Amino acid sequence: MRRRMKVRVLLVGTITALAAVVGVQLAIALPGAEQPAPSTTPVDWSTVRPGADASWPACTPPHGATRTTPLAERPAFVVVGVNDGLPGTVSACIARELRWAGTTTGGSSQPRLAYYVMAADPWTAAERKWVPHPDWPSSNRVRGTLVRVPAAFAGDAHGTTCAGGRTERACAYVYGWAMAQHAAAIPGLRSPSTHRFWIDVEAERTWNRDQRFNQAVVEGMVAAFTAPRDRGGIGTTTGVYSDHAEWARIIGRLRTGSPLDRLDQWIAIGPASKAEAVDALLHDWPLTANGRIRMVQWVDGRIDRDIALPAARDGADR
């Protein structure tokens, strides 16, 4: 994943002092959110093996670098990025990283293998530098499925019909659906309908200034991943990956009834230690009022590591 600076909300001092640092995030995360409760069963975290995630940089040197990033040795679980850093692209490292998934040790509340997929507004300058002509929809139909856009994303001119406009929220929703479908159809993936896809929401420069537009992209992806296969969906589970600061700037306050509100969350804290990641897993505020943090990623040198509760400790339905 793209690197980011570590952003943590420390609940000390006054709300006024914090507002100067995290601003709108307090308005988004705190009013309706319940503070995460620590596990009632003691966990010896020194014995809990972390998982790890990786994508294209494990096979292709990142921009400005001369070497690829290493893969963690014998992680508890892995999350494999399927894109080449941008929505609608394909990582050259999928086959290698799926072999890597075979080295996992298990013992985590997370499955041994999951995927993550990039999300963005493809019309931003940062995205078009690499994909000048994005696959943008001109109707509500994707791979033979008529995508029904929620009324919340209706436009003045065309309502919930996508007419191909680059700033149309209806088209953003259909685009999200199409990008999820593209990711699940990448050759070589193992049983996409039985593995979770995390949606990567980061890098503010790759998103629209219209937060409702951005919400439409992500909601469209969620809808495609979770819709039953007989309705044109993928029929799997999903969640969102982000950090508090970028989520606040990119997504902002959710519309009433947004499916993003209750999604599982994978939080990034940047360069840190395992102990700090455990603390974030147990005590950080979720991104949304009714979300739940399932994993926390920290950067350990050149490796992205991830901590989750051990098996049978988080009470999740799996």
Write the DSSP string, 74-125. Answer: S-S-EEEE-SSSSTT---TTHHHHHHHHTT----BSS-SEEEEEE---TTSH
57/140 Cα distance (integer angstroms): 34
Question: Parallel, antiparallel, or unpaired: how do β-strands 303-307 and 51-54 relate?
Answer: antiparallel
- 36 pLDDT more than 80: no
The mean pLDDT value of the chain amounts to 88
Supply the pLDDT for residue 34.
Answer: 52
pLDDT tier at 23, thresholds 50, 70, 90? very low
Encoding tokens for residue 42? 């003691």
Among 28, 27, 36, which Cα is nearest to 292's? 36
Q: Which of 2-6, 77-81, 191-195, 284-288 has the lowest mean pLDDT?
A: 2-6
pLDDT tier at 165, thresholds 50, 70, 90? very high
Per-residue DSSP letter, 206 = G
Q: What is the residue whose two structure tokens read 């009632």?
A: 40
Supply the pLDDT for residue 188.
Answer: 96
- 67 pLDDT more than 90: no
Tens of pLDDT, residues 197-216: 999 999 999 999 999 999 99
Supply the pLDDT for residue 4.
Answer: 35
pLDDT tier at 138, thresholds 50, 70, 90? very high
Residues 6+ apart with CB under 8 A from 281: 267, 293, 295, 296, 307, 308, 309
Question: Which amino acid appears at position 39 of this protein?
Answer: S
Encoding tokens for residue 315? 């009470």
Q: CB-based burial of residue 5 (10 Å sphere; 0-12 exposed, 13-18 middle, 19+ buried)?
A: exposed
315/318 Cα distance (integer angstroms): 9
